[in-house]
Amino acid sequence: MLNSKDSLIDVANVFAREYGNTILPVNYVRGVSISGRLRLARLLGDEERVISSIEHLVDPVVKQFDMDSIRFVDGSVHSGYLWAHDLTDLTADQKYMDLLVKIADLYLADENPIDPDNRVEDIFFVGALLGRAYDFTNREGYANFLFNYLEQVNPQTNSNLWWHSNSSPYYWGRGNAFAALGFAEALSFLPVTEPDFQESVNKHRAHLDALISYQHESGAWPQVINNPDTYLELTSTAILGYVLARGIRGGWLSQDYSPYLEKAWIGVTNYIDSTGQVRNACAGTGPLSTLLEYIQRPTVEGHDDRSGGFVLWFAVEYARLLL
């Protein structure tokens, strides 16, 4: 069976060897990969060996951490530290999360790092950082900020899909995946007893339902969500697969989403090989000026930290769901 726990772990092992072995330059693509290695280690009971390797990798960066510098970079760098939650959880060493909390506090300031152009990447960055800060500290300020933020950001009402940003009104595939991921990350940590939790779930489901209507029969999603003639893209498919698995395991998505999850994994396997190399992974992309630029955006073929890390996240989360 292709979507078996053993086959998922086999893929995760391959991608954990290929990715998550470097932290520089610090950014989310490496943060996800390092986090993925730690999650897999917990799943397999291999914590001691992997923790030693990860600490050797990250401790020089932790020692050199400079708050004055970190405040002048954006969320793509801030979220390069999201592995701190996994590492503190496994080691009980709070120095890692203490660092992440300092970064999260930047978002509570009057002049925070959120792009006023409403870039969807920020939904992921904010959800990942503030959710983890709340989980670690249990301070209501983080939860309140995050609930308010998720209420204020909105997809386009006629489609329930997200533009890349105000200045780039196009339904980029990975952009929509980032928006869905931000909600999934936030919902993973926010208190379910708050009325705002269900409102966030409802918005998240409406977005996923819209996305599912564009899922290709192969299981993948296109580079431009509402343009089925654009190439099928790995990163968005891996992220959305993770989002579906995480939501079902977390309980805010029902088993009705399972067929789309199963298809998403099949879609991912069409674009990866047995050595951790990938195909059809959209290259790094800031807001673009025209729809044609998104359609013609080049792909990464071979080693790709971004899509590789998200494939690892997806494989581990799906395997946890099947335990």
In tens, the pLDDT along 21-70 reads 999 999 999 999 999 999 999 999 999 999 999 999 999 999 999 999 99
User: Within the chain, what is the greatest distance between any pair of CA atoms?
Assistant: 52
> What is the structure's pLDDT at 322?
97
In tens, the pLDDT along 237-274 reads 999 999 999 999 999 999 999 999 999 999 999 999 99
Give the mean pLDDT of 301-310. 98
The number of distinct structural domains making up the chain is: 1
Kindly state the percentage of the chain with pLDDT values over 70.
99
The mean pLDDT of 171-195, rounded to a whole number, is: 98
Q: Is 153 exposed, middle or buried (0-12, 13-18, 19+ CB in 10 A)?
A: middle
The per-residue pLDDT for 126 is 98
Task: Please check the confidence at residue 161 and state whether its pLDDT lies above 90.
Answer: yes
What was the pLDDT predicted at 2?
A: 66
pLDDT of residue 3: 80
Q: Report the interhelical angle of 305-322 vs 5-18 (nearest 10°).
A: 150
The pLDDT tens digits for 89-98 are: 999 999 999 9
pLDDT tens figures, 193-238: 999 999 999 999 999 999 999 999 999 999 999 999 999 999 999 9
What span, in angstroms and rounded, lies between the C-alpha atoms of 210 and 195? 24
**The pLDDT of residue 1:** 47
96-118 residue pLDDT tens: 999 999 999 999 999 999 999 99
Residue-level pLDDT at 101: 98
Residue carrying the six token digits 């986090």: 35
Q: Domain holding 13: CATH number?
A: 1.50.10.10
Q: Is 278 helix (H, G, I), strand (E, B) or coil?
A: strand
Do the beta carbons of residue 255 and residue 248 sit within 8 Å? yes
Task: Provide DSSP, 134-199.
Answer: HHHH--HHHHHHHHHHHHH----TTTS---SBTTB-S-BHHHHHHHHHHHHHHHTTS-TTSHHHHH
Crossing angle for the helix pair 47-63 and 95-105, nearest 10 degrees?
A: 50
Phi, psi of 314 (to 5 degrees): -60, -50
Q: What percent of the chain has pLDDT over 90?
A: 99
Average pLDDT of span 11-25 = 98
By CB neighbour count within 10 A (0-12 exposed, 13-18 middle, 19+ buried), where does 255 fall?
A: exposed
**Average pLDDT score, the chain:** 97
Domain range for residue 192? 5-322
pTM for the complete prediction? 0.98
